[in-house]
Amino acid sequence: MGALQAFLQAAVRTATPLALAALGETIVERAGIINIGLEGTILAGAFGGLVGASESGVGAGYAMAVAVALVFGAVSGWFVIRLRADQIICGTAMNLLALGVTGTLYRDLYGAAGAALRIPTSAPIAVPLLSRIPVLGPAFFEQPPVTYLWYALTPVLWWWLARTHGGLALRAVGERPRSAVVAGIAPSRVRWRALLFGSALGGIAGGTLVLAQAGTFAEGMSAGRGFIAIAIVVLGRWDPRGAALGALFFGAVSAMQFALQSLGLDLPYQLFLALPYLVTLIALARTGGRLSAPAALGEP
């Protein structure tokens, strides 16, 4: 396996949870909600994945990850949609809550000594034919099944947003909720669906960390991925295709760090890690956040 192939494989692996979370957040933000609590949702999903998988395998792990994330989404929704509470304040609280609940439960359920619980991870599945493509094949098409969920969801979500009535209604709610009401759309119902969908994907993203990567849980293991996903949504200009590419970019930059180390190059890799954030900021400034951000983003 060549260095390039290893690099690409690592890039796709790192990008997978980011892409799933970012695709979900794209839908949520297009409905006008900024889910700062995504970080907590991912963490909750990771913990749910551990609990489910340690009971009855990887499938149950993902089911549990989604279930836990949906509970989180429902609590957030109750505050930001039902009570029209401030989304940033609520998200901050949800992140704290997720960190505390998962950290405490992990120690209560599996012991304090950090005797890391190991669970089996889902094996990569090679896609017939596609995985035979030199270099690119194994990197992109010999991955755990969740990676294929990312590939499949990207065009589906793009098509749904751009070409269906449901997608149009969602965008209307995110841009001009009042006009949407006039058009007979119930903004709160659309927002509920979007938030729950985004939370479920955040949960799967968290599940991926445990079930396809680490094989165990650690306190705060989401490690900022929720915030990175929010960055990716912006970089991808609130478009599912952009989110998918943005996630790949963030994944590639992280993978570069290991590639450089394995090549024995002593470059300051923090500068590489900082690159995507810098690019996102510059892209934001160039396009003007207002041009592409949903107009009603963050408004209750």
Partner 1 sequence: MIDRTNARRMAARALEVARAVALNGVVAFALLSLVIAAGGHAVGPAMRALWDGSFGSWYALTSATLVRAVPLILAGLGVALAFRAHVWNIGAEGQLLVGATAAAIVALGAVHLLGAFTLPAALVAGAIAGALWAGIAAVLRQRYGVLEVISTIMLNFLAAYLVGYLVRGPLQEPTHVYPQSSDIAAIAQLPRLFPGSRAHWGLVLAFVAAPIVWWALARTAAGFRVRAVGANPEAAQSAGLIDAARTRTRAFLVSGALAGLAGAVQLTGVTFALYENLSPGYGFTAIAVALLARLDALAVLLTAVLFAGLESGALAMQRDAGIPAVTVSIVEGALILLALAGAAGTRSGVLAMFRRAPAGIEDEA
Q: Nearest-CA neighbor of 153 among 247, 230, 67, 226?
A: 247
Based on CB atoms, which residue is closest to partner 1, 152 or 278? 278
Give least dist CB 299 to partner 1, A.
5
Among 49, 177, 202, 242, binds partner 1 (CB under 8 A): 177
The token pair that represents 149 in the structure block? 């969920």
Among 10, 53, 90, 139, binds partner 1 (CB under 8 A): 90
Give least dist CB 140 to partner 1, A.
27
Based on CB atoms, which residue is closest to partner 1, 36 or 58? 36
8 A C-beta contact, residue 255 and residue 11: yes
**Cα 10 from chain centre:** 17
Give least dist CB 142 to partner 1, A.
31
Q: Nearest-CA neighbor of 68 among 102, 25, 119?
A: 102
Based on CB atoms, which residue is closest to partner 1, 4 or 186? 186
| Residue 143 per-residue DSSP state | E
8 A C-beta contact, residue 9 and residue 138: yes
Q: In the chain, what's the furthest Cα-to-Cα distance?
A: 62
> What does the alpha-carbon distance between residue 239 and residue 244 come to, in Å, rounded to a whole number?
9
Number of residues located near partner 1, criterion CB under 8 A: 61
> Residue 85 burial by CB count (10 A; 0-12/13-18/19+): exposed, middle or buried?
middle
Please report, as residue ranges, which positions from 204 to 263 form the binding site for partner 1 (by CB under 8 A).
219-220, 224, 227-228, 230-231, 234
- Per CB under 8 A, the segment of 11-19, 46-54, 98-106, 200-208 that binds partner 1 is 98-106
Among 67, 99, 125, 126, binds partner 1 (CB under 8 A): 99
Q: Does 271 bind partner 1 (CB under 8 A)?
A: yes
Q: Does 200 bind partner 1 (CB under 8 A)?
A: no
> What does the alpha-carbon distance between residue 179 and residue 23 come to, in Å, rounded to a whole number?
26
Give least dist CB 83 to partner 1, A.
4
Q: Is the dihedral of CA 254, 258, 260, 261 positive or negative?
A: positive
Q: Does 51 bind partner 1 (CB under 8 A)?
A: no
Which amino acid, residue 255?
A
> Which residue ranges make up the site for partner 1 (CB under 8 A)?
34, 36, 75, 79, 83-86, 88-90, 92-101, 103-104, 107-108, 112, 177-178, 181, 186-189, 219-220, 224, 227-228, 230-231, 234, 268, 270-271, 273-274, 277-278, 280-281, 284-285, 288-290, 293, 296-300
